[in-house]
Amino acid sequence: MVTLATAGLGVTLGRRSVLESVALSLAPGGLIGVIGPNGAGKSTLVRALTGLIPYTGTITLDGRDAAAIPRTERARTIAYLPQGQTLHWPLTVERLVQLGRLPHLGPLSRIAETDRHAIERAMSRADVLPLRDRIATELSGGERARALLARALAVEAPVLIADEPLAALDPLHQFEVMELLAAEAAAGRTVVAVLHDLSLAARYCSRLVLLDQGRIIADDTPAGVLTPERLSRVYGIRAQVELWRDVPRLVLLGRDQPPAGSGT
């Protein structure tokens, strides 16, 4: 089990400050959802956590400075599923998922039996076993998203970060992916997912981190974060929120303010 933490985390892209003074402690045991409107800094946050972009402040893995950890060790510790990844090579789904084992392989080494078992487990959990011989570039958007999720699962890292893992998925597979992520968290992994569907975030996440304009606005249980007042202030929407077994159920009613010039 690994705890991922930040202190004073900031990211500047070009001349624009995207994240400012973000302090987080991301621990195992529950699915952590990162939510917020477009441009809030969600994807920038998870890219910084994975070491893909420069940042100021500190990021630590179990108290160790992440910047000082060798890349191969870090790749074995954090599995990352980026959003909207484009596939360029005509690999089969099985070969694509095998790429998730690269952090465990030495130079010129071959896939071992332990790697094959990890690959099979990942494909089974992501429901892509029937697709194993299909060419990944020929898959539908939803099939491709599940295959890429399987690649991330194949790393079997103690930390899993997924950026918009529900994109392009039909409702059934959205539920299945959220159940899978929640199960990974319950098994002792630190699981962080960037989400736009607030209803699914409320149902499956034990904790939500709400970002807006590069800062943390709220960090609490779904019931503590998803209040009508906060949804109005951050998202600009009107919503009815009811608790059902301590889980917020949201009914989105519309824009918080009518469009300019509507006359209403």
174-199 pLDDT tens trace:
998 999 999 999 999 999 999 999 99
Asked whether the whole model's pTM tops 0.75, one would answer: yes
Which long-range CB contacts under 8 A does 252-259 form with residues at least 24 apart? 256/232
Separation CA 149–CA 100 (nearest Å): 10
Domain 4-255 belongs in CATH node 3.40.50.300: yes
Domain locations in the chain?
4-255
pLDDT given at position 252: 87
pLDDT given at position 264: 45
171-186 and 141-154 are packed helices; what angle lies between their axes, rounded to 10 degrees? Answer: 10
Separation CA 148–CA 156 (nearest Å): 14
Separation CA 91–CA 218 (nearest Å): 42
Query: Tens digit of pLDDT per residue, the chain (264 long)?
Result: 889 999 999 999 988 999 999 999 999 989 999 999 999 999 999 999 999 999 999 999 999 999 999 999 999 999 999 987 778 889 999 999 999 999 998 777 788 999 999 999 999 999 999 999 999 999 988 888 899 999 999 999 999 999 999 988 889 889 989 999 999 999 999 999 999 999 999 999 999 999 999 999 999 999 999 999 999 999 999 999 998 888 889 998 898 875 555 454
17-30: burial string, b at 16+ Cβ within 10 Å, e else: ebbbebebebebeb
- What's the Cα-to-Cα distance from 181 to each of 86, 190, 222, 241, 246, rounded to whole Å? 22, 10, 16, 24, 20
Separation CA 192–CA 181 (nearest Å): 9
pLDDT given at position 200: 95
Q: Which residues contact 86 (CB under 8 A, 6 or more apart)?
A: none
| pLDDT, tens digit, 9 for 90 and up, residues 195-245 | 999 999 999 999 999 999 999 999 999 999 999 999 999 999 999 999 888
DSSP state of 175: H
pLDDT given at position 190: 96
Which tokens go with 76? 């074995």
pLDDT given at position 258: 58
